[in-house]
Structure 1
Amino acid sequence: MTRPISSPDRSIVLVGLMGAGKSTVGRRLAKRLRMPFVDSDAEIEDAADRSIAEIFEQYGEESFRDGERRVIARLIEGRPKVIATGGGAFMNDRTRALILSRCIAVWLDADPAILAERVSRRDTRPLLKDKEALPFLRDLAEMRNPIYAQAHIRIHTEPLPHDRAVGEIVRALRAMVETA
């Protein structure tokens, strides 16, 4: 058992491609660190009173990204928490700058083949509508991974079970504290 780490003084924001485990790992990490957990996608759906798929369909991706940026800015305010973001949130320059300056960004990195298997279990991903998951995720990874690489911490999630990924994050957080 690793020694306990006190709750960080900043929010921890999980970034990465769809299916990387941001929500599941985020809930477990928050519990381990005794911090609140929020999922930005759930907050967006609550604020809009519709699903993300409906927002994409009715208003388009650009409108969704603007709302996402505003919700994440609101979530960062106040008491530190663990925040799971949507896969595209960190691509927005303003959102990324805010996260990097005020939070600890953790990139959950996973192989596109593993992600494709995970996201194929449900059809709730608007970006995957009418697309084959694996080729799409490979292209998305090629485009987004250089941006995700700006995160403070990078965790390779495969083939780690979620609890092991949480342990890796805690160790990385501890190392950040010890070297600060």
Structure 2
Amino acid sequence: MNLILIGMRGAGKSNISRRLAALTKRPVMSTDALISYENQGCSIPILLEKTGGDWRTFRDLETQVVQKVAAMDDVIIDTGGGVVVDLDDEGREIYSRRKMDALKKNGRVIWLEGDIVRLAAKATADSRRPSLSATESEEAIMRRRLPFYQRAADHAVNIEGIRREILAVKVCMLADFWLT
């Protein structure tokens, strides 16, 4: 059984996944890191630049990686903030049934839920993250994605005002993992 962390940009998925690895002695699979690795080490901003900002191509790469890690067992999966979305024929974001069904087949999905205004400000201030849209604010995108996170989650953990080490233990307990 895998433990899958989902959440918006800046929610602390990578930080908490590393802490969970220490608690459970399980490896972490980062979908964003694996996408980069499988594309000659290109960072996600560079991948997007190479495709002219084509998020559809990125979502397809993400799906391939998700299917690979979902087939593993007893791993912690640190997903990118947009794992819950795909694009329809007009390029609008929709719930990603193909990615979430693959992940949920052999895992429990924990949503690291945080304050959208704070997370949007944090994401906007981080120059290492590619812009999600030239016309829409991070906050608007996060609000639109909120029902997708709610739908995907087996459990939600509110992250606001709680130290990361405490969050990791809470997530571990929710997921019924044995603490080591």
What percentage of residue pairs aligned between the two structures are identical?
26
Equivalent in the alignment of 1:145: 146
Alpha-carbon distance in structure 1 between the residues aligned to 2:124 and 2:64: 29
Query: Which of 138, 154, 157 lines up with 1:155 in the alignment?
Result: 157
The answer to whether the 8 A contact 2:66-2:102 is kept is no
Structure 1 segments, 4+ long, off by >3 Å, are 128-131
Equivalent in the alignment of 1:101: 105
The answer to whether the 8 A contact 1:112-1:137 is kept is no
Cα deviation per residue 1:90-119 (whole Å; 9 max; x = unaligned)?
A: 222200111122211110011023213433
- Aligned positions, number: 164
Aligned CA distance change for structure 1 residues 93 and 62 (closer, same or farther; 3 Å):
same
Matched to 2:80, the amino acid is G
Q: Does 1:12 align with 2:3?
A: yes
Residue 80 of structure 1 deviates from its aligned partner by: 1.7
Structure 2 SS opposite 1:163 = helix
Looking at secondary structure, tell me which structure has more helix per residue.
1
Cα deviation per residue 1:42-79 (whole Å; 9 max; x = unaligned)?
A: 11001012110111122211000000010111112233
Alpha-carbon distance in structure 2 between the residues aligned to 1:111 and 1:137: 13
Structure 1 SS opposite 2:38 = helix
Matched to 1:155, the amino acid is V
Taking only aligned residues, the RMSD between alpha carbons, in angstroms, comes to: 2.1
Q: Unaligned stretches of 5+ in structure 1?
A: 1-9
Cα deviation per residue 1:108-132 (whole Å; 9 max; x = unaligned)?
A: 011023213433453121135768x
Alpha-carbon distance in structure 1 between the residues aligned to 2:81 and 2:140: 14
Equivalent in the alignment of 1:26: 17
Residue 32 of structure 1 deviates from its aligned partner by: 0.6
Provide TM-score, normalisation by structure 1.
0.82
Query: Which of 38, 47, 57 lines up with 1:55 in the alignment?
Result: 47
Query: Which of 155, 169, 172 lines up with 1:170 in the alignment?
Result: 172
Matched to 1:127, the amino acid is S
Aligned CA distance change for structure 1 residues 117 and 160 (closer, same or farther; 3 Å):
farther
The answer to whether the 8 A contact 1:38-1:83 is kept is yes
Provide TM-score, normalisation by structure 2.
0.82
Counterpart mapping for 1:56-135 below 5 A: 56-59=48-51, 60-91=54-85, 92-128=96-132
Equivalent in the alignment of 2:34: 43
Residue 11 of structure 1 deviates from its aligned partner by: 1.0
Matched to 1:144, the amino acid is R
The answer to whether the 8 A contact 1:12-1:81 is kept is yes
Q: Unaligned stretches of 5+ in structure 2?
A: 86-95
